[in-house]
Structures are given as C-alpha cells and as structure tokens.
Chains A and B, each alone.
Chain A
Amino acid sequence: MKKILLACAGGFSTSMLVERMKESARVKGIEVVIDAVAESDIADQTPFDIIMLGPQMGHAEGDLAAEYPNIPVTTIDMMDYGMMDGDKVLGTAIELMEKGA
C-alpha cells in the first residue's frame, strides 16, 4: 500500500490535515496510509512514497528532494493547507505519486 508522509515543524497542524485526508480516502474507497511527523523525524519513518510539507516548512523542500531523489517531495498549497482541504491534498498526492519523482 502506498504511504503518504506529511511533515511540518512539530507534526501538529499536519496531523489535522491527515485526519481530513484519511476521511476523504475512506469516502472515496482509496486504500492508502497517511501519516504526519515532525520534519526532523522524517528519516526515522518506514519507507514512504511521497513527502508533503506544510507551507511553513517549504524551505526544506530542496534539501529533502536531494535526500530522497526517488520519490516526489512537494510543499502543500497554502490555501489547501489553510482550509484543511483533505480532498484536494489527497488528490495532489495521488497525482504526484503516479507521476513519480
């Protein structure tokens, strides 16, 4: 199963979004694992298929992309993040994972 990893400073606000993405996945019948962590803990995670950063951590995108060249690394759209739009962010994640890094 694909695993989507969301990261922000402490994993707090991303975990709110994760709940909404899970809900959206449930409604749409998409089987996927979604998790939120602190940016500094990304390396401790089991393999994942995409990293999505909270916009406040956007500055880490370049470094992470270099560190994980085989998976897509992206910063979540500010508006989608603010409105906690689980549907849209999940859609973006799936689209990016299909496209690859």
Chain B
Amino acid sequence: MAGAAQWRSKIQKVSTKIQKNTYISAISNGLMALMPILILGAIFSLINALKLEPYQNFLESTGLKDYTSIPATVTTDVIALYAVFSIAYNFATQHKQQGFSAGILALMSFLLVTPKGLLDDGATKAFGYSWLGAKGLFVAIILALVVGKIYTFVLEKKFYIKMPKGVPPTVEKSFAALTPGFIVAILMLIFSAIFAATKYGNMHEFVFSIIQLPLTSLGGTWWAMLICIFVIHLLWFFGVHGTLVVYSVVGPIWVALGLENLDAYQRGVEGTHIIGSPFFPVYVLIGGAGATLGLIIAMLFAKSTRYKTLGKLAIVPSLIGVNEPVIFGMPLVLNVRFMIPFIVTPLVSSGLAILLTTIGVLPVLHGIQVPLGIPVLVNGWMNGGWRVSAFQLVMIAASFLIYYPFFKKADAEALEQEQQAEAAAVSKEKGGVPNAQPVS
C-alpha cells in the first residue's frame, strides 16, 4: 500500500497543477458560472421544442410560441458573448485584478473581430447570430484569455498613465483600465485586418476551421470519450476528483458539442454529436463516478450492518449523482478489489450508449444541460425521451450485476468481522467486565 500512497501524492500534485493552472481554471470556472444561463436556455428549449403534436398546436394557436422561442435566442444562441466576459472576469480576479474591467474589454474585443453586416434596408447595421453562439465559443475563450492576460500584465507592471498626487483613486482606476483598453482594441483591429487578408476572411472563420472543428471532432469521438472515462476513474481510484480534473480540460469541447445539438433540437432536427456535455451525467455518472447506483442497491440488501447502513446513507444522494459516501466509505478509493468494477461499469455503460446511438436505437441527446440535482431517469428523459430512461434503467441493473460478485465477498467479510466483534464483546461481558462502550 505504501507504493499506492506514493502514487497518490504524485497524481494529486499533477492534478492540482492542471486544475490550478490559471488559464485552465479561468476557462472552467468561467464556463461553470454560465450554468444558470445554460440551464435556463436548455429548459426553455425543452418547453419550446417538446415533440408532442397537441402541445405544439396549443403553443401555435395561442400565440405562446412567439414567446417560448425567445429565451433560447438570448441564452444558448449568444453563449459566446456571456463566455468571453465570464472567462476574462475569472482570469483577472484570479490575478487579484478587477474582473469587471477585464470582462468588459474582452467583450468589446470579441465584438471587434466579429463580422458585422447591413440588413436589406441598407441602413441597419447588424451582428449575425452565427458567431455569437456555440460556433464562436473558442474565439470567446481565446480572446478572454488574451485580453485577460494583457489587462493583468499592464496593471501588474503599472504600464499606465499615472495621475499626479491628489487625483481621486477612482479616476486613477478608470485611467488605469484605459491603457490595456487601447492596447487590446488596436490589437483586435490588427487581428481583423490580418484575417481579412487570408482566405478565411475573419478570425471566427479561422479559429473555427483551424482549431474548434478539429478539436471538437477529436473530442467528440467515441474513443476520446472512453479514454476520458478511464482517466477520470483512475484518478478517482487514487482519491482525486477525476471528473473535475478531466472536465476542466475537455469541458469546453463537450459544451460546444452539446450546444450544437441543442441548436439542432431547437430547429426540430436530431443533433449530430453523440458525445456532448449531457453524455456524462446521463450515461456515465449513473449514481455518480463508477456508475455505483447498482452497487448501492446491492448494499441495501447487505447482510453486514456496516454496508447496510452505508447503503441507506448513500442511496438518495446517489440518485442525483453524488456518491462520495460510497467512494470513501466503502471505500472504493485505493481498494484493489473494487478497482475492476469501478472502472469497467462506466465504460460498459458509455460504450453501449455510444454503440446504440450509432445504430439508432438510442436518440442523440438533445444537449440539455442537466444541473446536478436532477435525478437519474429524469435527466435521461429530458435529454431524449423514454428510450434513454429505459437504457439507464438497464444500466442500473448492469451496475448491480457487475458489482455484485465483488460486493458479496466484501459483505461476507464485514459480516464475519461484526460477528467476531460481537462474540468478543459478549465473552468480555460474561467475564464480568461491564460493557463501557457509550451508545452513540
């Protein structure tokens, strides 16, 4: 076990480095902060696009459709606008600088490089939606980091016009943000000019085809997903929050894919990306990391008091994907016996989901961002109807079957220990020593 503990501390160090990297954590915290908007957009997409004919007729005939379609256009359809502000804000605050100024400058930069056009009337200037949503997400991320970096660098090095003594600090502050403002504005104009000279025409087109498309098609492959799941569970085995670490790296890719699916769903067609942000909560985390819901159900029928108690404790939070009690109480961390089912179960579940979606038995998930707190089966139904829920149910049974042989042995051992402890207590009592154990 000493070797394992050593590994554990090494892995923890690397994980911390990844997660604490200011660029990575600015992206993941920045996107995390958009959750309310993403969820709102997703729920309204569901309300707007739910495929029930009488319901849709009702929306049309009452004129409600005009309203139910609005939220998506100001949430997920313009997510890049929110993201660029949020990520730059997070980056700056991590460097102990004003987040707001950085965020607003990043937003301006984003709009500077986004193509603008004229409407048919020849007078109305307009931004198209095409680059403001999921397709513009990577430009948003890149610009947020570039602007965040320039902003914090300028302020840290104090490369700004200093005010004479006696000028109120608020004035000095607004002037301080002016220098990075000019720098990024000029830089964005240069970017625009450079990209205009290429065959891409603008920065968005360039980033989308050179970075976003290759990255998302790579991240959207079945084998990339399975590798991520494997790494996540290996990290959990060593007691590190694997989901958090891996998600901070691949999260933006999955979010972009999920949002493209959601956009398709809004337009009434099926999305094209099997892998996307909802894939994880719906198909992998059935009961939490390790897809442990079946194991917990097995625990409810445990013979040993220890596991029965733990099962009762863990079942409700596990339904919404929180399973730390089992991970640490079983424990599954550094427990070689359970290593195989812990890694295999989520792989089986996601592998089957990918296969069944490919051959059309399961629908492509709608891309609805399901917040933590929505229970299993419901999150599946929200993302693809009853077929997904039914599959989840089958996977809970599969989890039970895969874990059971391993659990049976652990349970028997725990029972034996309990019986031995009890027998020892009884013989002690018979020996005249009062049972001094306080009842807790």
Contacts and interface: CB of A to CB of B under 8 A. Distances in A.
A59 B238 CA distance: 11
B13 interface: yes
Given A56-B239, A56-B327, A59-B15, A13 B322 contact: yes
A81 B328 contact: yes
Contact of A55 (B16, B326, B328): B328
Give the 9 A-B residue pairs with the shortest CB-CB distance, closest first. Answer: A82-B329, A82-B328, A59-B12, A13-B324, A56-B241, A59-B16, A78-B328, A81-B328, A83-B329
B241 A12 contact: no
A82 B440 contact: no
Contact of B239 (A12, A58, A84): A58
Interface in A9-41: 9-10, 12-13, 16, 40
B29 interface: yes
A62 B325 CA distance: 24
Nearest to A13: B324
A62 B12 CA distance: 11
Given A59-B12, A59-B13, A8 B331 contact: no
A79 interface: yes
Contact of B330 (A12, A54, A57, A82): A82
Given A55-B328, A79-B331, A12 B372 contact: yes
B240 interface: yes
B239 A13 contact: no
B244 interface: yes
A63 B19 CA distance: 12
B325 A13 contact: yes
A10 B372 contact: yes
A60 interface: yes
Interface string B313-345: 100010000101111111101000000000000
B75 to A, nearest CB: 22
Contacts of A62: 16
Contacts of B19: 59
B20 interface: yes
Contact of B324 (A56, A60, A79): A56
B310 interface: yes
B240 A9 contact: no
A82 B240 contact: no
A79 B328 contact: yes
Interface of B: 12-13, 15-16, 19-20, 25, 29, 236, 239-241, 243-244, 309-310, 313, 317, 322, 324-331, 333, 372, 440
Contacts of B324: 8, 13, 54, 56, 81-82
Given A82-B325, A83-B310, A87-B440, A9 B241 contact: yes
A12 B316 CA distance: 13
Contact of A57 (B13, B241, B326): B241
A84 B317 CA distance: 12
Given A56-B324, A57-B241, A59-B12, A82 B331 contact: yes
A68 B191 CA distance: 43
Nearest to B373: A12
21 contacts: A8-B241, A8-B324, A10-B372, A16-B317, A40-B25, A40-B29, A54-B324, A55-B239, A55-B333, A56-B240, A56-B328, A59-B12, A59-B13, A59-B15, A60-B16, A63-B20, A78-B239, A78-B331, A78-B333, A81-B324, A83-B313
Given A16-B317, A63-B20, A81 B333 contact: no
A78 B5 CA distance: 13
Contacts of B330: 82
B310 A82 contact: yes
A59 to B, nearest CB: 4
A17 to B, nearest CB: 9
A15 to B, nearest CB: 10
